[in-house]
Structure 1
């Protein structure tokens, strides 16, 4: 994942760093030249004779010159400090060409336009203004500026998924939603395996009562994992299925109910009404949006639309291992204000990776 975008970000950092080095060298040479011009001439002669009144008067401007020299020295020191902290190391005009290239790189990697703009603003602020050190420094000014900006965008809304489950009253009810064929059912099975591995018991519920074969698909996962599946016949009320699963969990001291729902578009009034009914009857603790990382900009748009139509609490991106760009992973949290929680990275039940913003940024920049 991210291979294509990594190359583009690497080109940006190396190009800007080259300009930064040039700017720094010019500043050093300029400061050295100013220091040389301010130094007293080596051939100046001194006399031991007592100064006359006229000579004393003539010496007065020399004192002013000394004061000016001290001020120049202080100015050079301040410049050195500014240079060392990375402030105004490269001017905005020179940076703009690189930012234009970075914007094109982000957009061509399926990063949403508004998110790309946010990243550019952050990079510019971190390079030409005072940096905001929220991550450990790599010692590379440009790379650190880009890391800070990417992190601010990617980390929106993050929370500890398992910790929230542990802290909540049991059973915790989690509903999964999204369009058809993006891997909701497999994601439910993977998450069940992850939670069980952490000592949290789970029950599966098939609220996808309209798709032929949905019961059989989820039942196969339940059998493979030795889990209980609550299901009704095709065409039943999805809210009733989830309700029965909650009752089962309460009666059997099960920690988490994982409820599948029918794939839908946000414009499907009947199916969106089902979600509203589930929300009204069950009042789930979380609603998780699932989509494919490889869907890129389409996944970003759908995440926004689903959040507007039926508020989500977070997202899971499947097929992340097949996504060379990573635009959806960078964009969804910022667009919805809700975090990406996990990445699906394969077909196995253990192929579910916790989404860690700092690790993602480091992976993007090979930090």
Structure 2
């Protein structure tokens, strides 16, 4: 998962380490040259010992020469010794080329441009002027900068999903929206299993009354999971279907209503009107946007448009296991201000994982082994 982006982040870390290593080697050579010159000057200027030579008095000229030496060659030698001890000051020119390479890598990985720019600004601010022991800590400070930058863009809007479900009045109504073919219905089935494993009962509602075969598709999932399904005939009112499901849940002490909707584009005014009607009639507790991680920037743009039209509470990214780029996972939270809640990682009902920003960052930086 996200292997391509993971490799590119690792490449940036190595580029900065190599740049500072070269800087340390140059400083080491300069230090050696300065020491040699200092020894040579000492030999040439040391006075011959005599019994009658009085100790010279200090003059303004000598003080001036000492100060000049300290600010000139002596100051440079001291700086070189500091570098030779392994104290590296990371300067802007040290990171500009690696940052440019990283920017190209992020854009190639479908990270949205404004998100990429914020990440780069954060990394630059963390690195420039940082002083670290080279051999032990240069890689660490780069990794810390990457970690902070990644967390800042993917943690936007995060909330404790399980806690919100536990504290909500029942029945809790969750509506799923997004374009056709991205896995909304399968995600509903996966969450039905997810809730069952945590002790909650659920009912599915097929608000996708426009698509032929929609009832059959969701019924197959409901039967496989032994979950109640509320559905009307094709062409019926989606808001009425979901309203009936809420009434059924209330009458039968069902905890959660999972409402499917027709796949729609933000330009489909009739479908968007239906989504708004569902909101008025049912007043859902959550609206979750579903799209494919592999859709990259298209998914990011759609998430933004759906949030503007229906005010989503969070997102589910399907096919995350097939996404090597990771651009949608990096960008969607930042662009919408709403969190990624789950990642779909396969076709099975258990192939869904709750999105954890810190775990995602560890995965991208190579600190967590991928599960087989």
Q: TM-score range by the shorter chain?
A: 0.7 to 0.9
Match of 2:212 in 1: 212
- Scaled by the length of structure 1, the TM-score of the pair is 0.85
Match of 2:161 in 1: 161
Gap change, CA 1:35 and 1:202, over 3 Å in 2: farther
Gap change, CA 1:335 and 1:35, over 3 Å in 2: farther
Post-superposition CA distance 1:181-231 (Å, at most 9, x none): 110000000011111111122111111111111111111111111111111
1:1-367 matched pairs, under 5 angstroms = 1-27=1-27, 55=56, 57=58, 88-89=89-90, 91-129=91-129, 140-367=140-367
Post-superposition CA distance 1:222-252 (Å, at most 9, x none): 1111111111121111111111111222222
Structure 1 runs (4+) greater than 3 angstroms displaced: 24-47, 54-66
CA-CA distance at 1:33 after TM superposition:
6.8
Aligned residues of 1:138 and 1:144 also touching (Cα < 8 A):
no
5+ residue gaps, structure 1, are 132-136
- CA distance, structure 2, for counterparts of residue 203 and residue 273 of structure 1: 24
- Scaled by the length of structure 2, the TM-score of the pair is 0.84
CA-CA distance at 1:7 after TM superposition:
2.0
CA-CA distance at 1:23 after TM superposition:
2.3
- CA distance, structure 1, for counterparts of residue 321 and residue 42 of structure 2: 68
Secondary structure, aligned partner of 2:205: strand
Gap change, CA 1:155 and 1:38, over 3 Å in 2: farther
Gap change, CA 1:241 and 1:26, over 3 Å in 2: same
- CA distance, structure 2, for counterparts of residue 289 and residue 225 of structure 1: 23
CA-CA distance at 1:129 after TM superposition:
4.6
* Two-structure CA RMSD over aligned residues (Å): 3.4
CA-CA distance at 1:321 after TM superposition:
1.1
Post-superposition CA distance 1:129-163 (Å, at most 9, x none): 569xxxxx996222222222122111111111111
- CA distance, structure 2, for counterparts of residue 329 and residue 305 of structure 1: 17
Match of 2:134 in 1: none
Secondary structure, aligned partner of 2:315: strand
Aligned residues of 2:333 and 2:339 also touching (Cα < 8 A):
yes
Gap change, CA 1:176 and 1:41, over 3 Å in 2: same
- CA distance, structure 2, for counterparts of residue 57 and residue 291 of structure 1: 80
- CA distance, structure 2, for counterparts of residue 32 and residue 169 of structure 1: 73
Aligned residues of 1:288 and 1:313 also touching (Cα < 8 A):
yes
CA-CA distance at 1:59 after TM superposition:
10
Gap change, CA 1:138 and 1:265, over 3 Å in 2: farther
- CA distance, structure 1, for counterparts of residue 342 and residue 352 of structure 2: 6
Aligned residues of 1:17 and 1:141 also touching (Cα < 8 A):
no
CA-CA distance at 1:102 after TM superposition:
1.2
Secondary structure, aligned partner of 2:110: coil
Match of 1:134 in 2: none
Gap change, CA 1:56 and 1:151, over 3 Å in 2: same
Q: Larger deviation: 258-267 or 27-36?
A: 27-36
5+ residue gaps, structure 2, are 132-136, 368-372
The count of aligned residue pairs is 358
- CA distance, structure 2, for counterparts of residue 258 and residue 240 of structure 1: 14
Secondary structure, aligned partner of 1:245: helix
Aligned residues of 1:209 and 1:235 also touching (Cα < 8 A):
yes
Secondary structure, aligned partner of 1:159: coil
